[in-house]
A and B are shown apart, each in its own frame.
Chain A
Amino acid sequence: MSLNEWIPLLTVATSLLPGLVIFLLSEQQKRLRTWLNLLGAISKLLLVGWMLWGVFHDRQYETRLTLLPDLELVLRAGPLALLFVALSSLLWLLTTIYAIGYLEGSPHRSRFFGFFSLCVTATVGVALAGNLITFVLFYELLTLSTYPLIVHRGTAVARRAGRTYLNYTVCGGAVLLLGTVWLYTLTGTLEFTPRGFVSELGPEAYPALTVIFALLIAGLGVKAALFPLHGWLPQAMVAPAPVSALLHAVAVVKAGTFGIIRVVYEVFGIEFSTALGVTRPLVWISAFTIIYGSVRALYQDDLKRRLAYSTVSQVSYIALGTAIAGPVATVGGIVHLVHQGLMKITLFFCAGNLAETLGVHKISGMNGAGRRMPWTMAAFTIGAFGMIGLPPTAGFISKWYLGLGSLQAEQGWVVFVLAASSALNAAYFLPIIYRAWFCDTPESWPSEHDFGKKETKWALLAPPLITAFLSIAVGLVASSLYSPLEWARFVARREFYGP
């Protein structure tokens, strides 16, 4: 095997190996654990950078390992895969730094960071999967590695949330597996292919293909939190803030939406999916989920719960962009994968900071938080503005492309869904910002920690500031050669709509 064939596997291993070693460490070996975490995250980032450069210059990076006769574990670094891997790797590094600060002094840190690394391993595996069976394997590993993180606190509420999570994701996984096996029996291959591999089947297979599509989307829709399969996500917000960040921005929901993109574009192919008529219901469900999630978010007083419902809404933008079926909407959907990740992780980091530093969990208790924690709330404000879709933030670029794409695909009603969603986002984010910046500060906070002249620990403050900066930067320099938008255009051009 050449070096290029090893690199995808190495990328997966950079988090797997440190994770396995961390499991063996005692609680006192804090420094070694920190170094292993950071070493894994940085080396993964370097490998991803290498592959990005190579793929941009038409190099191939592919690992093939035989699992069973005729069934291979394939890891392939295509443009779309690398977009997701790059996002996960970058945000993993930042989340690791954040988690080190957040969990300082708390018990079971080795267990936490071990599963944390496994979770990222699974996410990278999902992203790099070169066929559907590899995808399903890592998808299930993601379910299993995330569960211990959700129940990490060990409280009754956390265990209940964990059970709900397992209920949903195990069922979703089973449905996904059913669809995968059925598809394999029909086609004899599961290899992800640009423009799909099922279009060669005759019309007699179309009813079966329709049901298979539905099974795959239903299985993936659980993690993507599509209505009505989203029930686990708001409950899972009881997890520690770094886990919430991981669930909402880096790993789980992204794995679901990424899977939907893979199925629509690389299993069925966008032209065939449209001809089969399966994308239209997906557009309806996504549009409904966007509005439903926003309406539910309006009712929530718990900050993390409101953010969770916001995720339900925002992640559906990606599914919407995919299902609208047009080059521009595709770019909008794909780029929102990155943009939503940056903005949502900022918001969860900030929510964690408020909880950890001031003991504030409720929106009604956030009065004056901006005066006490100006940098945290500045980051939160940027993240929230991005979610609303205000220019020049990243969220605006996504909405712009989704809107343009929907008009090009002659589905103008989607523009009104986007506008309604923006209005609802404004309705549930602006009051938070108003409370934090312009209401009087209370005499005391529920559980305030004193960090001297600093508003909180640097490890808790730096990550949201970096992601907030990136949320503006990727929107502001959207046309730059190295922006996620340009990469999303590259993906659409080369993999889905190119000659």
Chain B
Amino acid sequence: MAPACPSTLEPSHGEDAIMRANRQPVIVGAYESPLRHAPGVHPFDLHADVVSKALVDAGLLPDDVDGFATAAGDFAEGGAFTDLLDVVDYLGLHPTYVDSTDIGGASYLAHAARAASAIERGEAEVVVISYAAVPRWWPIASPYWDGLTQPAGLGQWEIPYSPTLVSSFGLVAQRHMHEFGTKPEHLARIAVSCRQSASRNPHARYRSPITVDDVLTSPMIASPLHRLDCCVVTDGGGAVVITTAERARDCRGEAVQILGTGSALSSLRLSELPQRMVSPAATSGATAFARAGLKPSDVDVAQIYDAFTITVLLSLEDLGFCAKGEVGNFIDSGAIDFGGPLPINTDGGGLSSNHGGRRGMYALIEGVRQLRGTSPGQSVANCEVALVHGIGGIFSAGVTLLLGKGL
């Protein structure tokens, strides 16, 4: 019998080709909680709920799980320093492959990318990635949620000026407007498009359609971002199950291929924003496209992290859907409008459906659902390739996944 590790075989060996194809990582289970408000529910109970339902979706059992990843140390996530241990203990799992990479909102996409590689190398068989948060009722404060860093080290030069999450992104939006003539209407149109998708999603927090004018007349939180430029706040959770293509044959859930992944890190510092007006998405996107052998025009649907309209706007450029500085024209052409040529955030996104503090998991699940044809929101016909992009910090991290239909 051939060795289990493909890397020990000769490249031209036929059996090796079969082994590698069979170890190709696929997402075989996905579940997002329909809840948007969970008063009195501990986030670990939500982990237990979404993990068990994702496993049911996959047709696998907890005993089949040998890998687990989460990040649960942020506000309302229930964990402290050893958050992975906390969650694994509560779930009663005993994984031998583990990951708790914390790069903000993109963390769960990084977990998926690492798990895919580990599975391909034979270091894990069935990996579960899970997320849950209850920001709407959690009473334990996190001291750094608004400024992101401690007022020490490099943070001592920024935190005394009271930066907030919204104003930190406002700095980026303001500069983009100055450099490229981007208008508040362009940002607003992104929110309008997401809300239209949300109107189709029975679980979305906000479903009534809005206009560009509604966005621009909503209260200014930190210029140039209005309330409707900002994501919703919801309780909830979601989980995915990743395994090999070989194992997926015996699974219940329709398998979705992980075609390519890329990740990149940059700075958290606001004084370094001039260096990241081209965000990490430019690197993570290029890497993911190269590994998948695809280009932006191959993408049928894009789930782009929408904590704020500006996170989508900048990512559209940096992922290569349009040239740098051209996103205003791109949006003016109707490209990201509901029903337009590039469907985005088709479940309503963070801007209208759900956002517990980190949205990577929800974006990933919606990408999977679009390829399976099971989205609760706007369903994209003939969906073969889905892009999922997550952001951490203030454009401080980027992780891009390209997913493909079936096997």
Q: Do A and B bind each other?
A: no
| B residues with CB within 8 A of A | none
| A residues with CB within 8 A of B | none
